[in-house]
Amino acid sequence: MIRQLATTAALVALPATVLTVPASAEPLPYGPDTCIQGFVWRDGRPGDHVCVTPDVRSQTAAQNAAAASNREPNGGTYGPNTCKQGFVWRDAWGGDQVCVVPAVRDQAATDNAAAASRRQTSVPQPVPPPPP
């Protein structure tokens, strides 16, 4: 009888020690594309969630607004989206044909390459061991 009570007590105590589950991480406010502090989505087009500085986001919006003024008015070698002399396609994503100066295209490539390092992660924090 005593042996049975000891076994029952051990089984009751088991879930409290073995089944301790770490707290789950809070969901990120903007999903998996949530930017780290100091960065925002570029928003060069719908779904452009590359994390950039707020200044780059503002510049991207201004570039989009000025896109027509940087294209050859009568088209050219590359069709209606041919850039004026001194301008190149931004190429921030496939099909991005906004005409910008080469330094801006380089910045877009740099931002794209750094995209993963500028997003928050949803990794749960380790649970400290219980006190002895």
H helix or E strand, kind and range, residue 65: helix 54-65
> How many domains are contained in the chain?
1
pLDDT at 33: 85
3 assigned to some structural domain: no
pTM of the shown model: 0.69
Tell me whether residue 97 is in a domain.
yes
Per-residue pLDDT of 11-36, as tens digits, reads 445 444 444 444 445 676 677 889 99
Which domain, by its residues, includes 89? 31-118
* Cβ neighbourhood burial of 35 (10 Å; 0-12, 13-18, 19+): buried
Residue 29, sorted as left (phi over 0), alpha (psi -120 to 50) or beta, turns out to be: alpha
The more confident residue out of 1 and 29 is: 29
CA distance linking residue 1 with residue 3, whole number of Å: 5
The pLDDT of residue 127:
62
Rounded to whole angstroms, how far apart are CA atoms 71 and 103? 17
